Structure 1
């Protein structure tokens, strides 16, 4: 696999390489929840705005929150001017209607305080969607993610306890589902840049050199490189649905 030589711009790499891999998840959730012209949706961890764009295309009124400043700035470039996106939910204008759909497509266990606070102000019976990695045996990316944990010298930390988040936030469970989200890349360099843009390797990069992290990702990707140089990794993501009491 050819080493990565292109300078890293994580937010732009997320927007241009990685974010589209989750389109099947966004579509499946929006279909199941019935996102449409009457929906008012708040996206937590809304990234560079693709999921918000897809909801807006269905007629929903949308707003987003993401702690990454660079992703927020890119989202503002991509989204219509009347779509609010901020680093903190408190900075998103409340508008004249409460949210009836709250999504966290990249849920982490650290989301609990923010989620609990938001659901207290959401519309009663609003739908909350939390999503994350599916079973390890159904995710080809799992060995690559273990590289991040080993280099950062930490316990496995990527998988959020989605059901625990629902219970801890005082929400009512309302179902779950799984969606195939294969990761496909034009070449090994794109795969490395895309995976680095997820944030899963940030701690590993701080603990060692970027070049070492790249090298070990490339080695872990080797079984998924096809004869033509493309990279294909079948994955399954899981989502849970809950209701605000």
Structure 2
């Protein structure tokens, strides 16, 4: 199979292709928490800002933080004037809801630091992949672990992060977030933009990673050339004690 030769612009590919796949997750969480007019929302690892934009459309006051400079710049372009998006979590402000829709175990230090100063009763939401048997994309993501010569680590211990940050568990939920792409090229670009393949690209070559992603996508390519992968994501709700 010929690898997909496309420009590699991870931040823009995330904004234009991949980020929308998690819209059902964002909506479900906002509905559950009643995010609306007057709610103060902070998005950690906010990416290019789509979740914040959706909260702002509900009337919430929003701010975001992400360590990826390119994504921060895109978020600033798309969010309303007056919304602050920074590369470090803001200090000195209080929030009703703190979200981390793209949670990894590496989030713990900044999460713990932030929640130590958060007001009691504030809600924190962490999200990650659901059960392996309900995530079609898992087999594709295992390509990343194999090429990077490391053990697969696709599951983030959400409850462990809650405990480590000194938060009080307050519930959980699951949301269907299918990944759908116009073609294989878009699927490859979208998946590369997640960051899951960064180590693999450094360990091999981009063209090799693209080729192996395409091979792993083959079972999910439909007759019309589109790519469809049903997935379930999981989130946990916690409170600042």
Superposition TM-score tier, normalisation by shorter sequence:
over 0.9
> Over residues 22-58 of structure 1, what are the superposed CA-to-partner deviations in whole Å (9 max), with x where a residue is unaligned?
0000000000011111210000000000000000001
User: Equivalences for 1:129-144 in 2 at 5 Å?
Assistant: 129-144=125-140
Which residue does the alignment assign to 1:64?
64
The CA RMSD over aligned residues, in Å, is 1.0
Which residue does the alignment assign to 1:201?
197
Which residue does the alignment assign to 1:16?
16
The partner residue of 1:190 within 170, 183, 186 is 186
Determine if contact 2:174/2:232 at 8 Å carries over to the other structure.
yes
* Structure 1: 5+ residue stretches without partners: none
What is the distance in 1 between the residues matched to 2:141 and 2:53? 28
Which 10-residue stretch deviates more, 155-164 or 195-204? 155-164
Shift of 1:102: 0.3
1:159 aligns with 2:155: yes
Which residue does the alignment assign to 2:105?
109
Determine if contact 1:52/1:62 at 8 Å carries over to the other structure.
yes
What is the distance in 1 between the residues matched to 2:150 and 2:125? 28
- Find the residue that maps to 1:76 and give its secondary structure: helix
What is the distance in 2 between the residues matched to 1:234 and 1:16? 20
Shift of 1:201: 0.2
Determine if contact 1:84/1:93 at 8 Å carries over to the other structure.
no
Determine if contact 1:105/1:130 at 8 Å carries over to the other structure.
yes
User: Equivalences for 1:86-105 in 2 at 5 Å?
Assistant: 86-89=86-89, 92=90, 94-95=92-93, 98-105=94-101
Structure 1 segments of 4+ aligned residues over 3 angstroms from their partners: none
Which residue does the alignment assign to 1:122?
118
Shift of 1:2: 6.2
Shift of 1:93: 5.9
- Find the residue that maps to 1:240 and give its secondary structure: strand
* Structure 2: 5+ residue stretches without partners: none
**TM-score w.r.t. length of structure 2:** 0.98
Which residue does the alignment assign to 1:5?
5
Shift of 1:220: 0.3
Shift of 1:6: 2.0
- Find the residue that maps to 2:126 and give its secondary structure: strand
Shift of 1:120: 1.2
Shift of 1:121: 1.4
What is the distance in 2 between the residues matched to 1:94 and 1:46? 19
Size of the alignment, in residue pairs?
Answer: 241
